Amino acid sequence: MSYITRTSSIVMVDQNCLTEAVHRLGGTIAKITATSANFLMNNKVWALQRLKNGSFQFSSENRQEVAQATKMFNELGNAYQAILKERKEAEERERKRIAKLQQDLQRLTEQASFEGIKHEELELDRSQIQKELQESEQTLSELQSKSAELERSRENYISITKQQVEEKAKEGSWGLAAMQDDPNKRRTRIQLRRKVKN
């Protein structure tokens, strides 16, 4: 059985990131629940259905509305992806900043112990660096928390989608022949075989 499902290059399942993307595009969120999302964007109120796997869907018989929804999803997907990229870059910047501040702090400590006396200027520099270091560590912690939440959303999406495909296959007398996960490409290949009844 060949069953291919495609999503956009980015599946928007993280609620906080989706909210941020809508705001970035000048929209406002009315409500996001476990089963729906309602927001105003481009002077149109969008009512989306949230699927079991966490992704969103728009349905309409009107072709013009479907075309508008496709455009809206593309814009939203691009903003969502840009936010993800910015978060990763911010994490990397904070990691580098923390490493530099730790080196500076170590250098000041060695300098103070080498000279044998503590200077007020060195202590002032040290306290300033320690303060910046704490702020950077806090920022990094917040960014990592957002990344972990996003990863949980992605994993939940993947596992539920796999389960849905397996359930649908069983309904049609299909059996799971193979399942391959490729985390690098973020792709899962599920191979099904028809169960033969004698």
Element (H, E) at 160: helix 120-171
For range 129-152, the mean pLDDT: 89
- Residue 174 falls within a domain, yes or no? no
- Token pair, residue 120, equals 């007020």
- Residue 8 falls within a domain, yes or no? no
Number of domains composing the chain: 1
- Residue 57 falls within a domain, yes or no? yes
Work out the angle between the directed axes of helices 63-115 and 15-24 (0-180°, nearest 10): 100
**pLDDT tier at 114 (50, 70, 90 boundaries)?**
low
Chain segment 54-109, per-residue pLDDT in tens: 778 888 788 888 888 888 888 988 998 899 899 999 999 999 999 998 898 888 77
Mean pLDDT of the chain: 80
**pLDDT tier at 158 (50, 70, 90 boundaries)?**
confident
For 141, the domain range is: 15-155
Q: Using CA atoms, how far apart are residues 80 and 86, in angstroms rounded to an integer?
A: 10
- Residue 112 falls within a domain, yes or no? yes
- Residue 141 falls within a domain, yes or no? yes
The burial of 145, by beta-carbon neighbours within 10 Å (0-12 exposed, 13-18 middle, 19 or more buried), is given as exposed
- Residue 35 falls within a domain, yes or no? yes
- Residue 182 falls within a domain, yes or no? no
- Residue 1 falls within a domain, yes or no? no
Q: pTM above the 0.75 mark?
A: no
| Ordered DSSP codes for 51-86 | PTTS-EE---S-HHHHHHHHHHHHHHHHHHHHHHHH
